[in-house]
Amino acid sequence: MALAACMRVHAAMLVMALVHVQLASGSSTGSTVSEDPPLPTTPSFACSSVATVPGYTCTDHWVETDDGYYLRMQLVSSPAVVGAQCLQGNDGHPPPNAVLWHGLISSSADWIANNRANESLAYKLSDQGWCVWLANSRGRQPLLHKSLKPDQKEFWAWSWDEMAKFDVPAVVEEVLSLTNASSVSYVGHSQGTAIGFTGFLNATVAAKIDFMVAMGPVGLLQHSVFNVGKALADVFDLLCGVNSHWPVTPKRTALCQQGVFTAAQALLPTICKPHALPGWDVCMDALCLAAGCNSHNAYNSSTFPDFVLGHSYFAGTSAQNEAHFAQMLNESNDQVRMFDYGSARENEAHYGSGSPPVYDLGKFHTKAVFFTGTDDKMADPTDANNTLALLNASGTVLDQVHVPKYGHGDFLWSMDAADVVYNQAIVLLQQHRRAPASP
C-alpha cells in the first residue's frame, strides 16, 4: 500500500478512536419514559429540514408497533399533491403512496439528505403527485416504548427480524389508515430492503404492496469486502461491554448503545469539514472504505458533515442488530437466517428449535426491481445476484439495474443520484402502482 494511502487509512481509524474518546468523556444520552409516554409534538429534524425548501410541507405521524415501540414517520408533500389530499383520500381517489425506508444506522432524513428539490427522492416523488412517507425503524430518537425504558436491556432486545415482523406491518397499516388507500409502493435502501424482502413474506402485508424498489439490496452478505455489521458489533463490544469478547470492559448502561451514535453525531460534523482536522478527505476515506462510493466529489461537502454525519446518519440501532449483520457473513449462499442467540437452549426458547429458522425467500411474490452499485462494498454485486436468485423463484423481480461505480451510500447521498437512479425508479413506480378502486 502506498504511503499516502496507508496514512489515510490510519487517519480514518483515528476518526473512530476520537468517537471513543468523546463517548468516554461524556455520559451516554437517551430518553427516559414512563408507561404510555407522551409523544413529542416538536417537529422532527426531517420535517424541520423540509420546511427550509420552498414549496414543500412535512408533518410528523406516530406509529405504534404490536410489541409496543413508537415510531415517528414523516409525510412529505408538494404543490402537486398537498398533505391534506393525502390524508383525506381526495374524495375517495387517494393519490399514490410511497413508503421510503432507510438503512442500517440511518434515519428517515437520509431521503432528503441533499435537501434540494431536484436531488432528493422524497421531493422528486412528491413532485410527481405521490404522498411520500419517510419511515423510521425502532432505535431512532426519540426512544419510546409503551412500557420499556431505553436504559433497560430489554428495550434493545431486537434485530432487523423484529423490524420485518412488527415495524413494516405497522407502518404500512398506518399509512393505509391515514390515506384511505388500499395499497402502497415501497422503496428500501440497505437494511430497508432486507426488512422488505422478509416482511413481505407475510402474505397479508404483501397483498398491500404494489411494487418494491430495492437500492443497495441486502440479503446475503458473504462477499462484503468490509462488513459494517461486524465492525460496529465490535465497537459496541469494546465501548459498551455488551458481549463477552472484552471481559475487562466494565458493563455499562444499555444507553451506551445509543451513546456511541450520539457521540459520533456530536463529533464528526466538526472534524469532517473540508478545512478541519482530520478533515473531509479522511472522513470520506473512512466511509468509502466501509461501503464504497463513487468519489469524494459526489457528495456536497458544504452540507454533508452537518446534515448527514450530524443528523441523518449514525442515527442508532441495537447491538443485537449489529450482531445479526455480523452473523450474516457466515451463512451459506442460499440461506438468510433469523438472529442466532448463541446456544441451542436460547434458540429453543425463542424459536422452538435449536437453530434459528431460515427465511424462505422463495415465497417472495412482490414485484420488485434491484438497483445494484458495481462498487458497493456492503451490498456486494455477487451477493445481490445470489439474493435475487433466492427471491426470484416466482419471477416477480422484474429487473436488476447495475449502476456503474456506485457504492452503498451513493444511492442516498450522491448529487447525481436523481439522474442516475431516481428518475428511472420513479418511472417504474408509476408503471406498477395499482389503480385506486372506485369509490
- For the segment 196-210, what is each residue's pLDDT rounded down to a tens digit? 999 999 999 999 999
Coil, strand or helix: which one is 397?
Answer: strand
On whether the CB atoms of residues 179 and 87 are closer than 8 A, the answer is: yes
pLDDT digits (tens, 9 = 90+) for 48-84: 999 999 999 999 999 999 999 999 999 999 988 877 7
Provide the pLDDT for residue 26: 40
pLDDT digits (tens, 9 = 90+) for 307-354: 999 999 989 998 889 889 888 988 776 899 999 999 999 999 999 999
Beta strands in 116-191 (DSSP E): 131-135, 184-189
Q: Which domains does the chain have, with CATH numbers?
A: 48-254+314-323+363-432 (3.40.50.1820)
* Residue entry with cell 425504558: 149
Query: How large is the average pLDDT for residues 383-410?
Result: 93
Provide the pLDDT for residue 31: 43
Residue type, 340: D
For residue 101, is pLDDT > 90?
yes
Q: Name the residue with higher pLDDT: 47 or 224.
A: 47
Query: Cα separation of 225 and 404, whole Å?
Result: 18
Lowest mean pLDDT among 13-17, 61-65, 109-113: 13-17
Going by pLDDT thresholds of 50, 70 and 90, the confidence category of residue 177 is very high
Q: How far is C-alpha 1 from the chain's CA centre? A: 33
Query: Cα separation of 255 and 47, whole Å?
Result: 26
Lowest mean pLDDT among 213-217, 253-257, 339-343, 424-428: 253-257
Exposed/middle/buried for 41, CB within 10 Å: 0-12, 13-18, 19+?
exposed
Closest CA to 439 of 13, 117, 94, 148: 94
Q: Name the residue with higher pLDDT: 283 or 185.
A: 185
CA atoms within 13 A on the CB side of 411: 33
- How many residues make up the chain in this entry? 439
Question: How far, in Å, are 87, 109, 179, 361, 390 from residue 91 at the CA level?
Answer: 10, 30, 11, 38, 41
Query: Cα separation of 290 and 308, whole Å?
Result: 16
Coil, strand or helix: which one is 366?
Answer: coil
Q: How far is C-alpha 341 from the chain's CA centre? A: 23
For residue 273, is pLDDT > 60?
yes
The x, y and z cell numbers of residue 18, run together, are: 476520537
Provide the pLDDT for residue 241: 62
Provide the pLDDT for residue 1: 42
Instruction: Please name every residue paired with 372 in a beta bridge, in sequence order, or none if there are none.
Output: 402
Question: Considering the chain, what is the average pLDDT of its residues?
Answer: 85
The x, y and z cell numbers of residue 346, run together, are: 436460547
Query: Cα separation of 48 and 313, whole Å?
Result: 16
Beta strands in 269-360 (DSSP E): none
Task: Give the pTM.
Answer: 0.89
Q: Name the residue with higher pLDDT: 5 or 394.
A: 394
Q: Name the residue with higher pLDDT: 428 or 1.
A: 428
Going by pLDDT thresholds of 50, 70 and 90, the confidence category of residue 235 is low
Exposed/middle/buried for 32, CB within 10 Å: 0-12, 13-18, 19+?
exposed
Provide the pLDDT for residue 231: 63
